[in-house]
Structure 1
Amino acid sequence: MSSQVAATTADRTPPSHTNQFALLAQRRFGPFFWVQFLGAGNDNVFKFAFTVLVTYQVQLQWLPPALAGLVIGALFILPFLLFSATSGQLADKYPKEVLIRFVKNLEIAIMLLAGWGFVQQHVPVLLMCVFLMGAHSTLFGPVKFAYLPQHLTERELTGGNGMVEMGTFVAILLGNVAGGLLIALPLVGPAYVAAACLGLAVLGRVLAQAVPVSPATDPALQINWNPFTETRRNLKLAHANVVVFRSLLGISWMWFFGAVFLANFPAFARDVLHGNEQVASLLLVVFSIGIGAGALMCEVLSRRHVEIGLVPLGAFGMTVFSVDLYFASRGLPPTGAAFTLGSFLAQAAHWRILADLALLSLFAGIYSVPMYALIQMRSQPTHRARIIAANNILNALFMIASSLLAGALLGAGFSISELFLFIGIANAVVAFYIFMLVPEYLLRFVAWLASRLVYRFRVQGDLHIPTEGAAVLACNHVSYVDAVLLMAASPRPIRFLMDHRIFKVPVLGWLFRLAKAIPVAPQKDDAAAYEAAFEAAAQVLREGDLLGIFPEGGITQNGELQPFKGGIAKILSRAQQEGESVAVVPMALTNLWGSYFSRVEVRNGDRVAMVRPFRRGVFSRVGLNVGQAIAAKSVTLEGLREQVAGLAR
């Protein structure tokens, strides 16, 4: 086992590359990506071809065409409810590459049976295969998302998830198109579908052989085969980590949101847009491309970190363009005949519809990818697959609830456009609720905005910020927004030890209280509060988290680095006495002196900040230089100050 772990660790140390597409050329990601791409594509070739078969070609009294799509969709989702808990356990207990190959072997067997069903047009056998393919996808889901953090670094996790998300939606789109075209071929359609499905399964199995070693994370796990008790246990396990559990709910809401649109595209195209089947297909194409584009944008927007500050941005865009889709679809001129694809695109009003749909799906991609990456990064490795299995269960439940709610609203007399308006407003309410429960999303969003819209923020040496374990981040103190900029640079949340007076600053005080910053007052003013602050700081390190501290004890009055106070020495001494392994990371903000938030202005003999907005224009350039981490036992107050001063030059 130790050699396997070593191999995997080596795999996670990648050569430098410029973007997420370069991962495709690397064995630790490329074969896995194409395996999941072909699997998603095969699911949809099979399901869509079968749906067309029972809708247009094989007429059955016990399966009316109007219900065929619903029955097939329900049969495919059912295994996620029944078997996700078990599949999560299997993915934690066994090596991932072994499970991937097993799943692909299973896919070949299912496709052999489905091929016979297509050739014989035996609908009961094909329905059974839908259920089996759902079980196949259920087994693969936890493996897929637990595989990525074993082989990608924190800086690659967002890009890797973006590639998987993009690949999944492109595969869904291509699978639907291919399934529809193949089954429509006269006489030979079912046979061609059977051959295509079997060919995709075999190709996926061949590629699965190249997936690298991925050791089990909990090989001693005892499997609980009762899906109901294990589902309850998985949800309880996920609930133990508040940020992770709220992220699971956030992702499930995205599937709820997306399912409303996907399920109603055909009726929206026919009844509201007055278009034919080609127009309905166009809506699906635009939606899929939007999701994929948003997923790919996450790496650039996040600067190759797990940046959950993008989640509020995504939620905002989802609401704005859902609401605008309602207004864009009102008052469209009626037509005597259904629009063809060409005549639909010839109408200028329809381009607003397509733009809204593209943008709301793009923001949905931006919304979901950081949440997936956060779950992978924050979940305990030994339980990661089971937590992802809990996510799959919640996703399935939310999608079922989405169908029920949409059906109830439409049955109550709502139009499809009004349904889209309702879901857009509901998205804003749900997002606000999640962000208030987990303020970290909102805090990271503020930090993301500040580092991109207020300043042109450049970080050097960010690889020195630990992605796990306790550490003290020691930085110079130049302005009132120093903590916000450090938040933007760190892949993990930071608890700051801060002068109590900064909490009296409007807006910023509220923000720092939301971030659970620790106020500290001079010992001579309030000895009890002073000791309580240092006890809170010690607890942060005991829990293995990041503690941010400005050792100068206050914001500089002249732009120069001030002498360091003894507070940081006290924190490190206490950590060593308690046997805590703590690293100290020196860092320095540069070019921030003279900005709006620094005390550059003189009023009545005092240095004050926030007096002249845009005194340096907009998007002024600032930076953060991060030095190598130092073991706590090697840190001296003067030595640390010299290192920070050197980084500030």
Structure 2
Amino acid sequence: MHHPNQFDLLRSRRFLPLFGTQFLGAFNDNLFKNAFLVMITFYGLSAAGLDAKTLANAVAGIFILPFFLFSALAGQLAEKYDKAQLARWVKLLEIAIMALAGVGFFQRNASILFACVFLMGVHSTLFGPLKYSVLPQYLRQEELLGGNGLIEAGTFIAILLGQIAGTLIVQHAPHASAPIIYACVGVAVLGWLFSRSMPAAPPPAPGLAINWNILGETWHILRHVHGNRTVFHSLMGISWFWFFGSVYLTQLPDLAHRTLRGDPGVYTLLVTLFSAGIGIGSALCEKLSGRRVELGLVPFGSIGMSVFGADLYFALTGAPAAMPYTVASFVAEPGHWRVMLDIMLMGAFGGLFTVPLYALVQTRTEREFVSRAIAANNILNALFMVVAAGMSIVLLQAGLSVPMLLLTVSLMNIAVALYIYTLLPEFLMRFLVWIGVHTLYRVRCKGLEHIPEHGPCVLVCNHVSFMDSQVIAGMVRRPVRFVMDHRIFKVPVLNFIFRTAGAIPIAPAKEDPQLKAQAFERVAQYLAAGEVVCIFPEGGITRDGQMQAFRPGIDQIIARTPVPVVPMALRGMWGSFFSRKDGAAMMKLPRRFWSRIELVIGPPLPPEAADRQALEAQVRALRGDWR
């Protein structure tokens, strides 16, 4: 039986036209820019008497400039107008720009082509907020991570293919303008045709008054996202990835030529490996996270970026020093395999790092502000890339070699990651939950759709082991606030997870009546705020594998705050290292590894029908005979 996955989206009209439009736009950006750069570098195209190296850096700077100038406006437009219609307008603009570029190529006029570089930067600036903010309108919650992964993977593959195509077209016809003109205009027209098939995406804020004050609106957008700590730090994480990636991509030509003694084909190979790695990592996000926005992948990605970035330095110091290498001779040399693997895995872990952050921004930002949050992201990305370029110039002029510069950035990544996870411990908490659950168990979840997407509810579940709350937290898409025995709450390492997740410690009235009263008060506060609360009504972890009678605490909670109650059952946890089978939990040798377990969720009960006897019967039925 076929199980839905992200690649099914490529057969859907909800996604394929958007994917094609974005893919062709990124491809055309790089097709045009690289053709222009090859003409400057190898075929003497010049402007204002400047040398090729200066002009090449000017191309990069001019392309980035519109992201500073017009991102705020682009975000407003994507909120005010139908995004599908806006996409078609942007694609028509691209056709006009490429027609103008055709004149520049025909006349060998660098000034016209520089103007087109700026205009293509405007085109990308306008499309950026649109492509990410429309995804939550087109896709279901469980499809969002996969859709982001495909967009991210497709973008980097398109960038790579565009760079290669632009180079090859000019190399094979350096004095004929027709091939590159037909290619650029043809791709733009094809992108417009894809955009015509995009479904309508009604504007979330049609009454928005456009603020044409660029600096004022930019400041307003940045200040607004700064008010949402989770979103702001997610944007900073994405921008840091662009800092990290831009340093590596900028230094790859020198690395390939001077350090690895390779020809231009070796540089193309390294760029291909890095881009393919990002594509693979982005596509893997959905598989590794079970189709949920899994923040635990973010620390996992940052760890991999630093580990393989540092290993690349040592791989380079031991690389053979023959000269020159072609692609074939470079790949045939075993001493280079480690270099190639490090570069590809850095890209792959970079994909794991960024895709959940994009999905988090889309899901944690107010619906009417998503486009402007993405615009803020583009502004920050551009700023970080400029700072990366400046830092690289300073360090290289100070005497650092390219391998040392790359090692420095990998070590900086560790410091930045620790800083972000200190500010937002939710990322580290989710990482520990993700690692623990997916290392120990193969989890199958049934009935996840029964948990309401919005609004308050109470989850009730049987209690088998010390890992029960982590398994539930790992499977349920919404943040869950657990009510748990205060002794479990204090378990080392788990305590960090519970505190970060907003868990509620509770004790029996005869042991600590004040703590019990405080727990019921916090439950009421969470439910009043529209959150999800989970309790284990048996009052403790089973000692014999059998369910115990539910205690009256659940009745008190529902009587005080009447909300829907969702029964659920864990199956297969009895006998695990964290259960009390054959002795105290966590005090015996583990006998099972990566064992199969299930979380089964039943339909919600209305509060008037959710007494403890009815809920106990529901949970027993869901659990069945499998303990």
| TM-score of the two chains, using structure 2 as the length reference | 0.96
Task: Tell me by how many angstroms 1:480 deviates.
Answer: 0.9
Hey, what does 1:625 align to over in structure 2? Answer: 600
Contact 1:54 1:60 in 2 (8 A): no
How much has 1:635 moved relative to structure 2?
1.6
Aligned AA for 2:540?
A: G
Tell me the alpha carbon deviations over residues 227-279 of structure 1, each in whole angstroms, 9 at most, x when there is no partner. 21211211222122222111111111111110011000001111110111111
Partner Cα distance (1:465, 1:324) in 2: 44
Report the Cα distance in structure 1 between the residues aligned to 2:436 and 2:94, rounded to whole angstroms.
48
8 Å CA contact 2:463, 2:536 repeated in 1: yes
The answer as to whether partners of 1:601 and 1:611 remain within 8 angstroms in 2 is no
Q: Counterpart of 2:546 in 1: which secondary structure?
A: coil
| Change in 2 beyond 3 A, CA 1:587/1:399 | same
Match of 2:588 in 1: 612
Report the equivalent of 2:244: 257
Residue aligning to 1:424: 410
Q: C-alpha separation between the residues in 2 aligned to 1:638 and 1:127? A: 74
In 2, distance between residues paired with 1:186 and 1:444?
A: 53
**1:458-497 map, 5 Å:** 458-497=444-483
Query: 2:321 is matched with which residue: 326, 334, 344?
Result: 334
Matches within 5 A, 1:130-145: 130-145=117-132
Distance 1:525 1:231 in 2: 55
| SS in structure 1 at match of 2:154 | helix
The structural deviation recorded for 1:454 is 1.0
Matched, 1:500 2:476: no
1:108 is matched with which residue: 95, 98, 103?
Answer: 95
Secondary structure of 1:184's aligned partner:
helix
Q: Match for 2:367 among 369, 381, 389?
A: 381
Separation in 1, partners of 2:314, 2:452: 48
Of 27, 31, 44, 2:30 maps to: 44
Partner of 2:29: helix, strand, or coil?
A: helix
Q: Work out whether residues 577 and 590 of structure 2, in 8 Å CA contact, stay in contact via their aligned partners in 1.
A: yes
Question: Which of 150, 166, 174 is residue 179 of structure 1 equivalent to?
Answer: 166
Quote how far apart the aligned CAs of 1:298 are. 1.0
- Give CA deviations for 1:508-562 in whole Å, capped at 9, x if unaligned: 2233223221112223443333222222222222222221211122112222211
* Partner Cα distance (1:453, 1:308) in 2: 16
Q: 1:134 Cα shift?
A: 0.6
1:645 to 604, 617, 620: 620
Q: What amino acid does structure 2 have at the position aligned with 1:643?
A: Q
Which of 583, 592, 614 is 2:564 aligned to? 583
Residue type matched to 1:228 in 2?
A: L
1:49-72 per-residue CA deviation (whole Å, 9 max, x = no partner) reads 111112222144533111222111
Deviating beyond 6 angstroms after TM superposition, the runs of 4 or more aligned structure 1 residues are none
Which amino acid is the alignment partner of residue 26 of structure 2? A
* Residue 233 (structure 1) aligns with: 220
Q: Deviations over 1:601-626 (max 9, x none)?
A: 34xxxxx21111213x2112221111
* DSSP 3-state at the match of 1:275: coil
Deviates more, 1:66-75 or 1:509-518: 509-518
Residue equivalent to 1:13: none
Counterpart of 1:300 in 2: which secondary structure? helix
Counterparts of 1:67-146 in structure 2 under 5 Å?
Answer: 67-146=54-133
Q: Shift in Å at residue 481 of structure 1? A: 1.0
- Aligned residue for 2:261? 274
Shift of the 301–187 alpha-carbon distance from structure 1 to 2, 3 Å rule, reads closer
Change (3 A) 1:161 1:307: same
* Residue 166 of structure 1: aligned partner: 153
Q: Please report how far the alpha carbon of residue 648 of structure 1 lies from its aligned counterpart in structure 2 after TM superposition.
A: 0.9
Q: Is the 8 A contact 1:439 1:515 kept in 2?
A: no
Pick the aligned partner of 1:600 from 574, 581, 586.
581
Q: Does 1:635 align with 2:621?
A: no
Deviations 1:169-212 (A, max 9, x none): 11111111111111223355432111111111111111111100
Closer, same or farther: CA 640–189 of 1 in aligned 2, 3 Å: farther
Q: Indicate if the aligned counterparts of 2:67 and 2:378 stay in contact, CA closer than 8 A.
A: yes
Mapped to 2, the partners of 1:438 and 1:642 lie a distance apart of 40
Q: Give me the whole-angstrom Cα distance separating, in 2, the residues matched to 1:228 and 1:17.
A: 48
Q: Deviation at 1:17?
A: 5.8
**Structure 2 residue identity aligned to 1:612:** K
Which structure 1 residue ranges, 5 or more long, are not aligned? 1-15, 577-581, 603-607
Measure the CA separation in 2 of the matches of 1:114 and 1:59.
Answer: 16
Does the aligned pair in 2 maintain the 1:456–1:620 contact within 8 Å?
Answer: yes
What fraction of aligned residue pairs are identical, expressed as a percent?
A: 49
1:206-245 mapped onto 2 (5 Å cutoff): 206-245=193-232
Deviations 1:351-399 (A, max 9, x none): 1100110111111111111111111112111111111111111111111
CA shift, 1:326, in A, is 0.2
Q: Offset at 1:476?
A: 1.0
Structure 1 distance, partners of 2:270, 2:309, is 14
Q: Write the distance in 1 (CA, Å) between the matches of 2:173 and 2:287.
A: 46
Aligned residue type for 2:98 = M
Provide the secondary structure at the position in 1 that maps to 2:460.
strand
User: 1:294·1:364 contact (CA, 8 Å) conserved in 2?
Assistant: yes
SS, match of residue 542 in structure 2: coil
The answer to whether the aligner puts 1:319 opposite 2:306 as a matched pair is yes
| AA aligned opposite 2:621 | G
Task: Tell me the SS of whatever aligns to 2:349.
Answer: helix
Query: Partners in 2 of 1:547 and 1:634 — Cα distance?
Result: 18
Structure 2: state its 5+ residue gaps: none
Deviation for aligned residue 1:595: 1.3
- Superposed CA deviations along residues 446-488 of structure 1, whole A, max 9, x for unmatched, are 2222222112222112222333322212111111111111111
Equivalent position amino acid for 2:155 in 1? T
Equivalent of residue 509 in structure 1, options 492, 495, 510: 495
CA distance in 1, matches of 2:84, 2:46: 42
CA distance in 2, matches of 1:136, 1:531: 58
Q: 2: distance between equivalents of 1:310 and 1:357?
A: 19
Matched pairs, number: 622
Task: Name the SS for the 1:565 alignment partner.
Answer: coil
Question: Counterpart of 2:550?
Answer: 564
**Corresponding residue for 1:7?**
none
Q: 1:451 to 1:187 in 2, by over 3 A?
A: closer
- Quote the Cα distance in structure 2 between the aligned partners of 1:181 and 1:448: 44
Instruction: Specify which of 53, 59, 66 is matched with residue 66 of structure 1.
Output: 53
> For the Cα contact (< 8 Å) 2:281–2:347, is it kept in 1?
yes
Secondary structure (helix, strand or coil) at the match of 2:101 reads: helix
Deviations 1:278-337 (A, max 9, x none): 1111111111111111111111111111112111111111111000000000043433x3
